[in-house]
Amino acid sequence: MHELEFIGVRMEMPANTPIMLLKEVEGERVIPIWIGAVEATAIAYATQSVLPPRPMTHDLIANLFTAFGVRLVEVRISDLVDGTFHALLVFDNEVQVSARPSDAVAIALRLEVPITATAQVLAEAGFQMQEDDDIDDDQVEKFRAFLDEISPEDFQ
């Protein structure tokens, strides 16, 4: 397994589609994963330590782990099938549960759990970012504006 760090979410233009970026810790490859707006919001809340008045879905899931006495030990980006990423939630009792990578990462960020990827996923989807590939300020501002316009109630 290769440990990954969460870099952030950037907006793909012109479609304004959020892309989650994960970079290998001991290397230079980055994995881009297209995600939905709801998941982008949940990830943004986790990275900004925003606590909504009532638990959102990813908070609820994290709370269930505690209530049932299991500890999440790893989120693993496990496979890439026909262009779709697959992830696993790996627990301390050796149980593994299939999940969408965006949901798994949102939970991992809340619980401060390591995110990993298989060598196969990195080989298939990883690429080296060039220095000029950095996220520009305009993209960050557009994403912040998007987040400012939505609230948890928009997803009920």
Predicted pLDDT of residue 148: 59
Per residue in 63-82, is it b (16+ CB within 10 Å) or e — as a string? eebeeeeeebebbbbbbbee
Nearest 10 degrees: CA dihedral of 75, 18, 41, 59?
A: -20
Q: Which of 20-29, 49-58, 136-145 has the lowest mean pLDDT?
A: 136-145
Q: In whole angstroms, what separates CA 23 from the centre of its chain?
A: 11
Rounded mean pLDDT of 134-142? Answer: 56
Domain ranges (residues) in the chain? 2-150
Predicted pLDDT of residue 156: 45
* pLDDT above 70 for 122: yes
| Pairwise CA distance, residues 42 & 60, whole Å | 12
Give the chain's mean pLDDT. Answer: 86
| Pairwise CA distance, residues 95 & 115, whole Å | 16
pTM over cut 0.75: yes
Query: Which residues contact residue 128 at a Cβ distance below 8 angstroms, ignoring those fewer than 6 apart?
Result: 28, 29, 30
Query: For domain 2-150, which CATH number applies: 3.10.690.10, 3.30.499.10, 3.40.50.720, 3.40.920.10?
Result: 3.10.690.10
Rounded mean pLDDT of 50-65? Answer: 90
The two structure tokens encoding residue 46: 């986790």
The two structure tokens encoding residue 143: 């994403």
* pLDDT above 70 for 81: yes
Predicted pLDDT of residue 146: 57
